[in-house]
A and B are shown apart, each in its own frame.
Chain A
Amino acid sequence: MSAVIDHVLWGPGLLGGAELWAMFVHFMLLSLLAIGGAITTTPEMQRWVVGERGWLTDAQFTTSVALAQSAPGPNLLFVAVIGWNVAGLAGVATTMVGSLLPSTTLALLAARFSRQRQDQWLLRAFKGGMAPLTIGMLLATGWVLTEPLRAHAVATAALVLMAVAVMRFTRWSPLWPIAVGAAAGALGMLG
């Protein structure tokens, strides 16, 4: 029983306080870089958690993102699943608080500042300058998420194209293409 509780609290037990602190600091930094949504930091998170630290495998990482996307709520929650898989509830607290604290503080300050005076010129320059980068980050995110699926290139490409088409040409809920993907995967189309 205590092994189960330990697992829930601390996960697989790989990480000590120093590692959790490093993760907290890294997610705080990512929070400030997450212009265009938390999901745009996925490539960087993958590079750090999988590549640099080796705390999760590629497949575990993509599964974490898919799991969060399959559940209701903001996309941001994939951060909680990554935290959970790395270090249990301690990991969830680390990644969630790290991800929310800086951007939340900044959002509140900016909201109050912009209500007081609208600095149109700089705001527009920032928006215009960052827009192409934000779109590039989204494209890179899509590319990185297909990484562990490339052994099944045809089925993966078909699912990706289907999802792109639904987003681009319809107003259907994303729930439908996600259900199609789940069915295709359950039938073994992706190995």
Chain B
Amino acid sequence: MNDRQEDLADEALRRPASAGELFRVFNRLALQGFGGVLPIAQRELVDRQRWLSPAQFVETLSLGQVLPGPNIVNMALIIGDRFFGLRGAAAALAGLLAAPLLIVLLLAALYGRLAGIPAVAGALRGMGAVSAGLIIGIAVKLLPTLKSNPLGRPLAAALVALSTLLIGWWRVPLVWVVLGLGSATTALAAWRLRR
């Protein structure tokens, strides 16, 4: 796969032929994404379809991360919009959500019938514990990115701890954390970057 990636680096990017192709590719990508679509998105959009160069992928992801809303949904909108405007954005979004939504609702509906079976309820509890771990794992993986944070590493680390406690322990509504603490840290970052 590495050889192939290098081979592709020099080849020209292509673009989806139609909004329908956007729908199909995002649909396929979503259906492969158990517990997180982002790794699959990189493989499909950059390696296989060559709609984005690796650099463009990173740029799109950064923008998707800065914006509120799910990263992958934002990426689908931005990519769809770039190729076919609003129609493309709608096609990519629909491709990403339609089939998985049906599947998850079928599961939810069935769960009501199955919840009485102890093994099923137990399996869901076990999966809940793993989901918690996977999310903590993403946070652990992101911690090194704070090295280059304009706030400086010690302050950034203290802010991680503070926001974890505020949200998870003291249960301060998120809106106050984002609007209050978030605007203060953004202002501080802006001030540090300007100097």
Are A and B a genuine interacting pair, yes or no? Answer: yes
Q: Which of B81, B103, B162, B189 has the most C-beta atoms of chain A within 10 angstroms of its own C-beta?
A: B189
Interface secondary structure of A, over-half rule = helix
Separation in Å of the B169 CB from the closest CB of chain A?
8
**B109 neighbours in A (Cβ, 8 Å):** 8, 84
Question: Are B101 and A39 neighbours in the complex by a CB distance under 8 Å?
Answer: no
**A interface footprint on B79-119 (CB within 8 Å = 1, 0 otherwise):** 00110001001000100110111011101110100000011
Question: Are B130 and A181 neighbours in the complex by a CB distance under 8 Å?
Answer: yes
The answer to whether the Cβ of A49 comes within 8 Å of any Cβ in the partner chain is no
Q: Interface residues of A toward B: which range?
A: 35 or more
User: A107-B74, A174-B134, A181-B126 known; A167 and B141 CB under 8 Å?
Assistant: yes
Question: Are B167 and A137 neighbours in the complex by a CB distance under 8 Å?
Answer: yes
Question: Are A174 and B35 neighbours in the complex by a CB distance under 8 Å?
Answer: yes
User: A145-B128, A186-B126 known; A104 and B73 CB under 8 Å?
Assistant: yes
Separation in Å of the B159 CB from the closest CB of chain A?
4
Give bound CA distance, A140 to B131, whole Å.
Answer: 13
**B interface footprint on A137-175 (CB within 8 Å = 1, 0 otherwise):** 111111111101100000110011111111110000111
Separation in Å of the B71 CB from the closest CB of chain A?
6
The answer to whether the Cβ of A22 comes within 8 Å of any Cβ in the partner chain is no
Give bound CA distance, A155 to B127, whole Å.
Answer: 12
The answer to whether the Cβ of B62 comes within 8 Å of any Cβ in the partner chain is yes
Question: Are B134 and A177 neighbours in the complex by a CB distance under 8 Å?
Answer: yes
Give bound CA distance, A187 to B181, whole Å.
Answer: 44
Q: A128's contact among B89, B107, B174, B193, by CB below 8 Å, is which?
A: B193
Separation in Å of the A161 CB from the closest CB of chain B?
7
Give bound CA distance, A124 to B124, whole Å.
Answer: 40
Question: Are A107 and B69 neighbours in the complex by a CB distance under 8 Å?
Answer: yes
The chain B residue sitting closest to A124, CB to CB, is B193
A sample of 22 inter-chain contacts (CB < 8 A) reads A31-B68, A38-B69, A67-B104, A73-B104, A85-B108, A125-B189, A125-B193, A128-B192, A128-B193, A130-B185, A135-B160, A135-B163, A137-B167, A140-B169, A160-B132, A160-B136, A163-B130, A163-B137, A167-B134, A167-B138, A185-B124, A191-B125
Which residues of B pack against A, CB within 8 Å?
Answer: 30-37, 39, 62-74, 77-78, 81-82, 86, 89, 93, 96-97, 99-101, 103-105, 107-109, 111, 118-120, 122-143, 145-146, 149-151, 156-157, 159-164, 166-169, 171, 173-175, 177-178, 181-182, 184-190, 192-194
